[in-house]
Amino acid sequence: MISNVPSVSRRMVSDGVRRIATAVCAVVMTWSMAACHGALDVSDPNYITDKDVANATGANGRRINAISYFSYVSSGLASSGLFSDELTHDAPLSAGLDPDKEFDRRSSETVFSDRLNTDDQPLGNLIQYLPHSTLAIDQVRQYTPDSLKGDFLGQLFAFRGFTILQMAETICSGFPINDITPKNLPILGAPFTTDSALGYAMSQLDSAIADVKDSVQYANFAHVVKARALLDLGKFDEAAAEVATIPTSFEYRTDSTVFSNPFTASDQGNGTFYSAYIMSDHEGVNGLGFISEHDPRTPFGYAQQRYSVPSESLFVSLKYPSPNPSIVLASGLEARLMEAEAALHNGNSNWLTIVNTLRAGIGMAAMTDPGTANARVDSLYHERAFWMYLTGHRLGDLRRLVHVYGRDPQTIYPVGVYPLGGNYGTETAIGFNYRVEGLYNGNITSGCISH
């Protein structure tokens, strides 16, 4: 299901609004039939129709429109931070049901306890890009000149792969992936396991790699994201091979003109900073010391005292100063960390050389070998956590530690007493609103298959 869908009745520049409206109604199905009917009833003689955009300009308009929806993946990045040990939540103890608090408490299914709640965070936000990209891909294939077609398709498929990967790493096993056909027919997804979703993501990334023509940026992006999926499947050597040619200097950043950074921090001018999200430090016993380690990769500034525990100071990340800096979604640095993990898996001491080379690049002291297999994995994942803080990787890393390395979730996720009341839950991935999904998709009859 798609939540927070903008009105489809307004005119979109260089885009077939009628077709987009039909697509959204088919996939979302949260509106009544009357609502969809009304969105498609047009008497304006200047209204843009399909035949008006059946050309290269129209195809590019659809591409641009789809890209704007890719910005919704930011909700998945924030949810990953809350559900893991990167971010915490602060609110008065008397506050009612708060999705961010429940995600932070590892009790996401509480958010969907009301059958009338038509929201589905963050799955609803993540999935919005897919139907728009389907229509864009169809138009680009038909009307875009060959000189541009490959790179346009590479971009659209790479974003599809990343979006599906983010779902696989964030949402519990058993979620649907709804889409449409180029003819606006709904595709109501059957339950996807985490592994099957990762496989689907890789198929989209393979399409991106095959289609891209001149854009090294999109090709590198697709290779790194595919390697991330391979790591999630425990295919270490394949992941390392996928990124072998990616330069360490490579970065794929979000477009700050369309992508809202949820982690931006603003200087309040009185020695305090404001951000919508609060940094965690050793959250729930097992969390890492993102503040107390005073690591240059996780800069911070004072925000306020905690509502529920006034003696506790809260800090916000200064990694992303306002107004709207971009976020690195994939990089050559990540590629090197993948190669280090493959080396570690194979018992090759080169893993430490790779890690220390990256640290030396920002003037950090070298790490020493911690001496045991488990401690080496801990050290590498500590490095991943600090290098890729607030980029949407942490929840996927914790889940990989459970499913690939066999770690007990109670030893790596936040546990114990929750600061805003009660205890941390036991979920290891974010649930989805199966009650609402099931109302419109007969394939969905239950919630999480597993976390």
Claim to verify: residue 137 and residue 32 sit in the same structural domain: yes
> What separation in angstroms does the CA of 81 have from each of 29, 41, 43, 73?
30, 42, 46, 13
Its pTM stands at: 0.88
> What is the CATH classification number for the domain harbouring 127?
1.25.40
pLDDT for 117: 66
The set of residues, in sequence order, having a beta carbon less than 8 Å from that of 404 and lying 6+ positions away, is 231, 232, 233, 234
Structure tokens belonging to residue 309:
């525990």
Structure tokens belonging to residue 264:
């931006």
* Helix, strand or coil, per DSSP, at residue 8: coil
Claim to verify: residue 337 and residue 215 sit in the same structural domain: no
**Structural domain contains residue 194:** yes
CA max distance for the chain: 74
Claim to verify: residue 194 and residue 339 sit in the same structural domain: no
**Structural domain contains residue 123:** yes
**Structural domain contains residue 290:** no
Please report how many Cα atoms fall inside a 13 Å half-sphere around the Cα of residue 191, on the Cβ side.
18
Return d(Cα 340, Cα 346) in angstroms, integer.
10
Claim to verify: residue 229 and residue 332 sit in the same structural domain: no
User: CA 292, 102, 255: angle at the middle one, nearest 5?
Assistant: 70
Query: 257-292 burial, b if ≥16 CB within 10 A, otherwise e?
Result: eebebbbbbeeeeeeebebebbbbbebbebbbbbbe
Cβ-based neighbour number of residue 77 at 10 Å:
24
Claim to verify: residue 229 and residue 336 sit in the same structural domain: no
Q: Is the pLDDT of residue 38 over 50?
A: no
User: How many domains does the structure of the chain reveal?
Assistant: 2
Q: Is the pLDDT of residue 114 over 70?
A: no
Query: 24-44 burial, b if ≥16 CB within 10 A, otherwise e?
Result: bbbbbbbbeeeebeebeeeee
**Structural domain contains residue 122:** yes
Q: Is the pLDDT of residue 6 over 50?
A: no
Q: Is the pLDDT of residue 387 over 90?
A: yes
- Per the listing, tokens 């240059």 go with 296
Return d(Cα 315, Cα 279) in angstroms, integer.
6
Q: 148-193, pLDDT tens digit by residue?
A: 999 999 999 999 999 999 999 999 999 999 999 998 899 999 999 9
Give the DSSP letter string of 148-160.
Answer: HHHHHHHHHHHHH
Provide the mean pLDDT of the chain.
88
Identify the domain containing residue 69 by its residue range: 17-236+433-440
pLDDT for 116: 57
pLDDT for 115: 56
**Structural domain contains residue 203:** yes
Claim to verify: residue 332 and residue 232 sit in the same structural domain: no
Q: Is the pLDDT of residue 3 over 60?
A: no
Claim to verify: residue 84 and residue 227 sit in the same structural domain: yes
**Structural domain contains residue 70:** yes
pLDDT for 288: 98
**Structural domain contains residue 291:** no
**Structural domain contains residue 60:** yes
Q: 399-426, pLDDT tens digit by residue?
A: 999 999 999 999 999 999 998 889 999 9
Q: 323-356, pLDDT tens digit by residue?
A: 889 999 999 999 999 999 999 999 999 999 999 9
Structure tokens belonging to residue 29:
């199905």
